[in-house]
A = this chain, B = another copy of it.
Amino acid sequence: MMKNTLMRFKLPIICFIWEIAMIILFGVFVRYNHEAGPNWAEFKKTRNATSDIENDFYFRYPSFQDVHVMIFVGFGFLMTFLQRYGFGGVGFNFLLAAFGVQWALLMQGWLHYFKDGKILIGVENLINADFCVGSVCIAFGGVLGKVSPVQVMIMTLFQVTLFSVNEYVLLNQLHVIDAGGSMTIHTFGAYFGLTVTFILNRPQLSEKNNKEGSLYHSDLFSMIGTLFLWMFWPSFNSAISYHGDGQHRAAINTYCSLASSVLTTVAISSLVDKKGKLSMVHIQNATLAGGVAVGTAGEMMLTPYGSLIVGFICGIVSTLGFKYLSPILASKMRIQDTCGIHNLHGIPGIIGGIVGAVTAAAATEAVYTTAGLTKMFPLVPGFRSPSIQGGYQAAGIFVSLAFAFVGGTIVGIILRLPFWGDPSDENCFEDAIYWEVRTDRQTTSS
């Protein structure tokens, strides 16, 4: 029995209503902050800044643009690997991210940047909004090809909301450090997406559908996504670190960790194949695990060799996950994880949280200097010892997981409602359901 996948009124209505809501809420709440408004000239003096170059724009805009590329081209093209779902991969990712950043500016604004009834935004808010949406892109990878664009929009609305609250609990209540988002972005995003996938389980999917695979050229498109994610991850993890050595160090650590995970990914990919051949799935994904896993500790004194070790481990764990764990999750646990987000974001995210907790617990004044320690961990040493800070860091992992499981369950149940227009099993991973695709394309193939 074919499902009704007609989007003609559902999708336009949801897009219009939500965009109009954004306009109204932005009109009431959102204004420029002191660095983006005309009072910058005055504000500069209060900060003892002598030059316009000290505007936060110049500290963070290049990193912001790299993050922006990761969200739209990185995640977007990473999801074009399916043979007949390239439009949906890159196109729905585009849609969800464009909506998500607006809602994230509001949610994060109310929770973090609210003053005198207004949300004051600048370049840091744009980065944070992109970060928040990154977690939705991750979750989208789990359900890729099996949901309608309306479901994607609904998931985005709820996930951005939950992300922002979880982030608020971690950063403002637990006072956890997580500048690159191992916990808030990756752990939360992945387990949220996996929970939704679990609820949306399609028991007969694999029997009825033979489109869940890649083509030669779709794998090359996907590598565009992989490489832009890989190259710009140092910017991701350093984008909102504190000025100076904080940003500098986060970039170096991420660079090292990523380089290391490429080698172990290649090693394991070859080792687990009978003929020793490399798998594009592994290269496209597991090479990135090193970046996920230094999201928390990237700006800490992880040291370059510490970063190499983290990347070394994550390349192995992630590749083994793709080879052995994903099939088990699909067959035994009803989790049909299209992009393998558990292997790329789930496990490495948790590892990243643990690495952050251990690194924080091991912090000493000898290593950080007294001033540096306070800069890195504002509550240390006055209110917390480093080990207590480490404990709070670890707690952040569990809070993120709890938000993911509870939130994912609720959102999954909402998405199961029968009128959102999701495709039947036969039509999963098929662009022609939601996109105009030329039928004569085969005859002029190149």
Which residue numbers of A lie inside 8 Å of B, CB to CB? Answer: 6-9, 11-13, 15-16, 18-20, 22-23, 26-27, 30-32, 35-42, 44, 49-59, 61-63, 65-66, 68-69, 72-73, 76-77, 80, 83-84, 86-87, 90-91, 94-95, 98-99, 101-102, 105, 121-123, 126, 149, 213-217, 219-221, 223-224, 227-228, 230-232, 234-235, 243-245, 247-249, 251-252, 255-256, 258-260, 262-264, 266-268, 270-271, 273-280, 283, 287, 301, 303-305, 308-309, 312, 367-369, 371-373, 375-376, 433-438, 441-442, 444-446
Contacts and interface: CB of A to CB of B under 8 A. Distances in A.
A375 B42 CA distance: 14
Q: How many copies does the complex hold?
A: 3
Contact of A231 (B37, B69, B84): B69
A3 to B, nearest CB: 14
Nearest to A19: B263
A58 B55 contact: no
Contacts of A121: 252, 304
B220 A80 contact: yes
Contact of A278 (B52, B76, B91, B123): B91
Contact of A434 (B31, B87, B278): B278
Contact of A249 (B27, B37, B52, B53): B37
A243 B52 contact: yes
B372 A41 contact: yes
Contact of A8 (B273, B301, B369): B273
Contacts of A441: 215-216, 446
Given A122-B248, A278-B435, 12 more contacts: A6-B276, A31-B303, A32-B245, A36-B252, A41-B244, A69-B231, A73-B228, A87-B220, A98-B259, A101-B255, A217-B446, A278-B436
B41 A305 contact: no
A245 B36 contact: yes
A51 B49 CA distance: 8
Contacts of A27: 303, 305
Query: Which one of A51, A66, A86 has the greatest number of beta carbons of chain B within 10 Å?
Result: A51
Contacts of A69: 228, 231
A31 B367 CA distance: 12
Nearest to A95: B266
Contacts of A271: 8-9, 12
Contacts of A59: 52-53, 58
A198 to B, nearest CB: 28
B32 A249 contact: yes
Contacts of A26: 256, 304-305, 308
Given A224-B224, A277-B7, A245 B95 contact: no
Contact of A58 (B53, B214, B255): B53
B36 A249 contact: yes
Contact of A126 (B214, B255, B263): B255
Contacts of A16: 263-264, 267
Contacts of A35: 244-245, 248
A76 B227 contact: yes
Contacts of A44: 244
A220 B219 contact: no
Given A266-B11, A434-B278, A57 B369 contact: no
Contacts of A22: 260, 308
Contacts of A219: 86-87
Contact of A438 (B18, B214, B255): B214
Nearest to A370: B38
18 contacts: A7-B276, A8-B273, A12-B271, A23-B260, A23-B312, A32-B245, A32-B304, A50-B50, A57-B244, A72-B231, A91-B278, A99-B262, A126-B252, A215-B446, A217-B217, A280-B435, A280-B436, A441-B446
A326 to B, nearest CB: 15
Contacts of A303: 27, 30-32
